Amino acid sequence: MPNSLSSMDLASPACLEGEAIFRRGSVSLISQEGDALLLRVGTSPTQIVTLPASGNPHCTCGMGEQPCAHVVAALFAAQEDGTLRMLSQSHEFTLGQKMLAALSRAMPGSENVRLSPMLRLFPDGRVGLGLSIGQERMYAVRSIPALLACYTMGFTLTLSPRFSYQPTQMRFSKEDERLLSILLSHIHPKGPDEEPEDGSLTEEDCSLSPQSDGRYVILTGAFLHSVLRYLESHPFVLLDSQNKQPHIGIRTVELPLCFTVSLLGGELKVVAEGTKDLRLITSDARYVLCESKAVHLRSAQARVCQLLLTEGSRFSYEAVQAEEILATLLPALSTVGTVIPSAELNARLVTAPFRPRVYLDLVDGNVEARPEFWYGDVALLPFSQSSSVEENGGEGWRASLSGSAPEVPSMAPIREHATGLPPGKLLLRDGRAESALLDFFSDAGFVVRGQKILLRRAKDILAFCTLGVQELGKLCQVYASTSFERIKPRRFTARASFHMRDGRLVFTLLEESGQAPEIFPLLTAIRDRQHYVRLKTGEFLDIRDMAALAPIAQELLDAAAMDDPHQGEDAREIHFTAYRSAYMVSMLRLAGIPAEADEKVEQAMGALTDAVSQAEQYVPSRLLKKLVPYQRRGAGWLLSLYEAHMGGILADEMGLGKTVQVIAALSAAKKKNGRQKSIIVTPTSLVYHWLAEFKRFDESLIVRLVGGQREERRQTIESIKADDQVDVILTSYPLLRRDIDLFRDLPLRFAILDEAQFVKNAQSLGATAAKELSAQVRVALTGTPMENHTGELWSIFDFALPGYLGTQATFLRRYGGGERMQELQERIRPFLMRRLKKEVLSDLPHKNEQSLYAAMTPEQAAVYNQLLGTLRAHVDEALKQGALPKARMQVLSVLLKLRQVCCHPKLFLPDYEGTSGKLELLVQTVHSALAEKKRMLVFSQFVGMLQIIRKRLNREGVRTLYLDGETKPGLRQELCDRFNGGEGQVFLISLKAGGTGLNLTGANLVIHYDPWWNPATEDQATDRAHRIGQTRDVDVLRLIAKDTIEEKVTDLSKRKRAIFDQVVLAGETALSSLTEEDIRALFF
Residue 166 has pLDDT above 70, yes or no: yes
Residue 694 has pLDDT above 90, yes or no: yes
Residue 86 lies in a domain: no
Domain containing residue 637: CATH number: 3.40.50.10810
Q: What is the pLDDT of residue 357?
A: 94
Residue 564 lies in a domain: yes
Instruction: Answer yes or no: do 526 and 632 share one domain.
Output: no
CB neighbour class for 1084 (10 Å; exposed up to 12, middle 13-18, buried from 19): exposed
Segment 670-675 mean pLDDT: 91
Instruction: Answer yes or no: do 938 and 1043 share one domain.
Output: yes
Highest mean pLDDT pick, 61-65, 307-311, 538-542: 307-311
Q: Among 788, 813, 844, where does a domain finish?
A: 844
Instruction: Answer yes or no: do 820 and 786 share one domain.
Output: yes
Structure-model confidence comparison of residues 977 and 538, the more confident one: 977
Residue 205 has pLDDT above 80, yes or no: no
Residue 352 lies in a domain: no
Structure-model confidence comparison of residues 173 and 1054, the more confident one: 173
Least trusted range by pLDDT, from 519-533, 755-769, 871-885? 871-885
Q: For helices 884-903 and 858-880, what crossing angle results, to 10°?
A: 180
Instruction: Answer yes or no: do 285 and 223 share one domain.
Output: no
Segment 541-568 mean pLDDT: 80
Instruction: Answer yes or no: do 981 and 1026 share one domain.
Output: yes
Structure-model confidence comparison of residues 267 and 1084, the more confident one: 267
Strand-pair partners of 574: 507
CA distance 574 to 905: 69
Segment 913-921 mean pLDDT: 93
Average pLDDT of the chain to the nearest whole number: 79
CA distance 87 to 76: 15
Residue 681 has pLDDT above 80, yes or no: yes
Instruction: Answer yes or no: do 385 and 261 share one domain.
Output: no
Residue 12 lies in a domain: yes
Residue 1083 has pLDDT above 70, yes or no: no
Residue 891 has pLDDT above 80, yes or no: no
Highest mean pLDDT pick, 28-32, 111-115, 999-1003: 111-115
Instruction: Answer yes or no: do 471 and 505 share one domain.
Output: no
Total domains present in the chain: 7
CA distance 124 to 129: 15
By DSSP bridging, strand 960-963 and strand 832-833 are: unpaired
Residue 207 has pLDDT above 60, yes or no: no
Helix (H) or strand (E) holding 607: helix 607-614
By DSSP bridging, strand 47-52 and strand 36-41 are: antiparallel
Q: What is the pLDDT of residue 793?
A: 82
Residue 591 lies in a domain: yes
Residue 368 has pLDDT above 50, yes or no: yes
Q: Among 797, 824, 844, where does a domain finish?
A: 844
Instruction: Please name the amino acid found at residue 574.
Output: I
Instruction: Answer yes or no: do 407 and 315 share one domain.
Output: no
Least trusted range by pLDDT, from 748-762, 844-858, 1043-1057? 1043-1057
Instruction: Answer yes or no: do 320 and 392 share one domain.
Output: no
Name the residue among 932, 931, 930, 950 with its Cα closest to residue 940: 950
Helix (H) or strand (E) holding 217: strand 216-219
Instruction: Answer yes or no: do 817 and 861 share one domain.
Output: no
Binned at pLDDT 50, 70 and 90, residue 386 comes out as very low
Give residue-wise pLDDT tens across range 54-81: 778 888 887 766 778 888 898 888 877 7
Instruction: Please name the amino acid found at residue 132.
Output: S
Q: What is the pLDDT of residue 789?
A: 62
Q: What is the pLDDT of residue 515?
A: 83
Name the residue among 357, 371, 374, 475 with its Cα closest to residue 429: 374
Enumerate long-range contacts of 320-326, CB under 8 Å, 24 or more apart.
321/268, 322/263, 322/267, 322/268, 323/416, 323/426, 325/268, 326/261, 326/268, 326/413, 326/426
Name the residue among 1006, 1002, 999 with its Cα closest to residue 937: 1006
Name the residue among 805, 803, 743, 800 with its Cα closest to residue 776: 800
Residue 1064 has pLDDT above 60, yes or no: no
Structure-model confidence comparison of residues 766 and 217, the more confident one: 217
The greatest distance separating any two alpha carbons of the chain, rounded to the nearest whole angstrom, comes to 130
CA distance 654 to 836: 8
CA distance 415 to 421: 10
Contact 493, 512 (CB under 8 A): yes
Residue 201 has pLDDT above 80, yes or no: no
Give the domain extent around 809. Answer: 615-844
CA distance 62 to 56: 13
Enter the pTM of the model: 0.36
Q: Among 288, 312, 347, where does a domain finish?
A: 347
Give residue-wise pLDDT tens across range 424-453: 677 777 777 888 898 899 999 999 887 778
Measured in residues, the chain has a length of 1084
Instruction: Answer yes or no: do 808 and 894 share one domain.
Output: no
Structure-model confidence comparison of residues 923 and 759, the more confident one: 923
Name the residue among 1003, 917, 927, 916 with its Cα closest to residue 963: 1003
Q: What is the pLDDT of residue 508?
A: 92
Question: Other CB atoms closer than 10 Å to residue 1022's CB: what's the count?
Answer: 20
Highest mean pLDDT pick, 339-343, 552-556, 662-666, 1071-1075: 662-666
By DSSP bridging, strand 447-449 and strand 452-455 are: antiparallel
Segment 185-195 mean pLDDT: 66
Give residue-wise pLDDT tens across range 453-472: 899 888 898 889 888 998 99
Residue 297 lies in a domain: yes
Residue 610 lies in a domain: no
Structure-model confidence comparison of residues 1067 and 320, the more confident one: 320
CA distance 1004 to 1034: 5
Q: What does the CA dihedral 1013, 1014, 1017, 1023 come to, rounded to 10 degrees?
A: 70
Tell me what percent of the residues of the chain surpass a pLDDT of 70: 78
Q: What is the pLDDT of residue 720?
A: 94
Segment 558-580 mean pLDDT: 76
Binned at pLDDT 50, 70 and 90, residue 1023 comes out as low
Residue 53 lies in a domain: yes
Instruction: Answer yes or no: do 295 and 332 share one domain.
Output: yes
Binned at pLDDT 50, 70 and 90, residue 963 comes out as very high
Give residue-wise pLDDT tens across range 284-306: 999 999 988 999 998 888 989 98
Q: What is the pLDDT of residue 919?
A: 95
DSSP per residue, 1026-1070: SSTT--S-EEEEEEEETTSHHHHHHHHHHHSHHHHHHHHHT-SGG
Binned at pLDDT 50, 70 and 90, residue 1026 comes out as low
Alpha carbon of 891 to those of 151, 1061, 1064, 1067: distances in Å?
71, 13, 9, 9
